[in-house]
Amino acid sequence: MIGKTVSHYKILEKLGEGGMGVVYKAQDTKLDRTVALKFLPEHLLYDPTSKARFIQEAKGASAINHPNITTVYEIDEVEGKSFIAMELIEGKSLKTLIEAKELPVHKVIDIAIQTCEGLNKAHRAGIVHRDIKSDNILIDKDDLVKILDFGLAKLKGTSRLTQTGTTTGTVSYMSPEQAQGKEVDYRTDIWSFGVVLYEMLTGKLPFRGEYEQAVIYSILNEEPEPVTSLRSAVPFELEQIVGKALAKDVNQRYENADELLRDLRQFQENLKVTSGAASPKSIAVLPLENISPDKENEYFSDGLTEEIIMNLSKIKNLKVISRTSTMYYKGTKKPLKQIAKELQVQYVLEGSVRKYGNDLRITAQLIDAVQDAHLWAEKYSGTLDDIFDIQEKVAEKIVEALKVELTTGEQQQLSRRYTEDTEAYQLYLKGRYFWNTRTEEGFKKGIEYFNQAIEKDHNYALAYTGLADAYILMQVYCYLPPHETMSKARSAAQKALQIDPFLAEAHASLAHLKILYDWDWLGAEQEFKRAIDLNPGYAPAHLWYTLTLSWAGRLDEAMAEIKKAQELDPLSLIINTDLGLIHYFAERYDQAIEQYRKTLEIDPNFFVTRLALSGAYEQKGMFQEAISELQQALALSGNSTLVLAELGRVYAMSGNKAEAQKILKSLNELSKQKYVSPYVIARLYLSLGEIDLGFEWLYKAYKEKSLFLIHAPFNVDPSFHSVRSDTRFVELLKKLGLEK
């Protein structure tokens, strides 16, 4: 064919071929332009159905005039050869681009929006493409998207070329209804588009198999691996768009391309705001001074501080230091400039609260600590009934003074009220006040106050979240066994989400529970991403997500995530300790020790850091130093059984089995009076060389779903060195989904 002239087209070169056609580059001698000619293959010339489809492709594409759909100039037949003349696209297929490199998210969205605009135009013209795939999408040299190949298109008002019960299209991109040979509508193209979007983001197809029937089985019965588990940097909103496009139930899918297009454009707008913004402005809200006659109102001033922080932290373009770090400056006489430098912020809010009975007087002033300039100051007087209005005014004034641009969603968040009941609100503040003490008595009082708040307002979502967090940490600190806490925590978190599906704190609580108790890695990651997306300034979500990444062995990602948490809460003892823990998991023991020592400079009485430090000393063979740290941790923790068991284990590892046996006996006695985690007993037995008893207690830990089992696969735990090849240990890891 090369060099021949067909009609008024001189054929220059062959561009490619597929099942439904051979494509050549040609010169239009009449209009002096380069075109693409697509010929029906010779073996299909006498197949009526194939010829009808070929003609239908031309009709389908020519019926739509849109920049994202290939323009068809004419269809003709010369000497028995049917061909379509169409615009020539100088570019690459999307498939080629995906295979060449990872596409940036902004590029993916640009391609997706253009593709969706073309589909929307086709659907409005009554045409279903039925073969949307990355091979049928071309990107020209100017990054313009073109949809090709309407050979399988279903045109409104035309007779069906395939019978119900037969499948058409490319298997990997088929919708469930298409794979089953059912009648299809525009939503089948939306599914196929969802497959392409997934492919662009991950470089993989969502449904795969060694042969076509295996792929179809996957499409009909399996859920694809979450986008964020393959590419963690993908924002949660985009993962949701992919998920809705790939809903197996056609009625749960986007109803039309226009609806899908709106979501894509909104996401693109949010992405531009985020990426185009300058470095976020930063603020620390210092603890409001309680100048009330009744010093028991301390909970109220602290609670009000926390509420202002919580409101501001929902603003994506504002870095807000978490409560844990700012509380270190309660009652401090340090200059504001020094505080700002230590917390790495530019702005500081300080003030006071006077509560007398039902009357309130609140003062607040915003200071640019770097420039040593007062930006704004205000006094508010009123009653408890005015507290929510005052909170809103303070937040609005800060935003106004800092000239922070808010999205519509952020504006709504600032004016959002979780309860209108001031009594319930005060009870919630008391609950958080005691929860933050992290003591057994504090958790018990916190639970009591959260329940009282819920009694006052059954729809108080934040109070349910507080309840969930209290029950979860009661188990984390080994005050109660999992079966006594986790079901209550789950009920509370789920109730909070039922009331408010957009409450970041509730998503974080549920994620925390999913990883600690359910061992649901993917589910936990999805919930953490959702929480962080809803409130990027919520440091606990970043911290708990860090631990999830660490336990999954994704240490580089964990380090990046904990840096975000540390930026939001630079003086948090637990965040700084867990930063050392990541070094420990990576077997960087000297760096772990250095980080633990830095943390103890903030507070030498935090027993969790001393417990962690002992582990790093042990790995370096510094047993006396490890034992010394554990003895101090034991005293600081009020004789925690967790610390006591670790002391016994280190004695055993150092060769002092007599002391280890004494501690083991003590733990067995204590277990008759209070909860002792079977996991810590198991590790102690294993360290003593009593392997069968060790496994007996490990099985008990597995049965009660001990959260500490998550640590088992790490090679850095000396307790398991002797049993890593033991089939019982290997099987246990498989049950946990933790095998490495």
Identify the band that residue 559 occupies on the pLDDT scale cut at 50, 70 and 90.
confident
Identify the band that residue 126 occupies on the pLDDT scale cut at 50, 70 and 90.
confident
The top-scoring range by mean pLDDT among 152-161, 343-352, 417-426 is 343-352
Distance from C-alpha of 327 to C-alpha of 337, rounded to nearest angstrom = 17
Ramachandran category for residue 310: left, alpha or beta (phi over 0 → left; psi -120 to 50 → alpha) = alpha
Q: What is the pLDDT of residues 280-291, one digit of tens each?
A: 788 999 988 888
The count of other CB atoms within 10 Å of the CB of residue 146 is 23
Which residues are registered as beta bridge partners of 85? Answer: 37, 74
> What letter would DSSP give residue 136?
G
Distance from C-alpha of 412 to C-alpha of 403, rounded to nearest angstrom = 17
Residue 95 has a pLDDT of 94
More confident call, 79 vs 109? 109
CB of 584 closer than 8 Å to CB of 617: no
Distance from C-alpha of 253 to C-alpha of 715, rounded to nearest angstrom = 45
Cα 658 from chain centre: 48
Read off the tokens for 373: 């300039």
Q: What is the mean pLDDT of residues 48-74?
A: 71
CB of 126 closer than 8 Å to CB of 155: yes
Q: What is the mean pLDDT of residues 621-625?
A: 95
Angle among Cα 267, 273, 275 to the nearest 5 degrees reads: 95
Residue 375 pLDDT exceeds 80:
yes
More confident call, 305 vs 465? 465
3-state secondary structure of 285: strand
318 residue type, one letter = L
Distance from C-alpha of 405 to C-alpha of 190, rounded to nearest angstrom = 34
Residue 337 has a pLDDT of 86
Residue 162 pLDDT exceeds 50:
no
Helix pair angle (573-585, 589-602), 10° resolution: 170
- Kindly write down the DSSP assignment for every residue of 530-579, as one continuous string: HHHHH-TT-HHHHHHHHHHHHHTT-HHHHHHHHHHHHHHSTT-HHHHHHH
- Residues in CB range of 191: below 8 A, 6 or more apart: 174, 175, 176, 178, 245, 246, 253
- Residues in CB range of 370: below 8 A, 6 or more apart: 337, 340, 346
More confident call, 416 vs 465? 465
Distance from C-alpha of 411 to C-alpha of 36, rounded to nearest angstrom = 52
For the chain, what are the domain ranges?
5-87, 91-276, 281-396, 639-740
Helix pair angle (504-513, 461-476), 10° resolution: 30
CB of 686 closer than 8 Å to CB of 678: no
Residue 279 has a pLDDT of 56
Identify the band that residue 56 occupies on the pLDDT scale cut at 50, 70 and 90.
low
Q: Do domains 91-276 and 281-396 have the same CATH topology?
A: no
More confident call, 94 vs 152? 94
Residue 155 has a pLDDT of 39
Distance from C-alpha of 468 to C-alpha of 474, rounded to nearest angstrom = 10
Return the minimum-mean-pLDDT range out of 93-107, 259-273, 470-484: 259-273
Residue 156 has a pLDDT of 40
When the candidates are 3.40.50.12280, 3.40.50.10610, 3.30.200.20, 1.10.3720.10, the CATH number that belongs to 281-396 is 3.40.50.10610
Read off the tokens for 591: 């760096």
Residue 66 has a pLDDT of 83
Residue 527 pLDDT exceeds 50:
yes
Q: What is the mean pLDDT of residues 711-735?
A: 82
Tally: H helices and E strands in the chain? 31, 17
Distance from C-alpha of 200 to C-alpha of 137, rounded to nearest angstrom = 12
CATH code reported for the domain at 91-276: 1.10.510.10
- At residue 737, φ and ψ (nearest 5 deg) are 70, 30
- Nearest CA among 719, 478, 486 for reference residue 608: 478
Q: What is the pLDDT of residues 572-582, one digit of tens each?
A: 898 999 999 99
> 114: number of CA atoms within 13 Å, CB side?
20
User: Any idea which architecture 5-87 has in CATH?
Assistant: 2-Layer Sandwich (3.30)
Residue 46 has a pLDDT of 60
Residue 164 pLDDT exceeds 90:
no
Residue 463 pLDDT exceeds 80:
yes
CB of 44 closer than 8 Å to CB of 56: no
Q: What is the pLDDT of residues 660-698, one digit of tens each?
A: 999 999 999 999 988 999 999 999 999 999 999 999 999
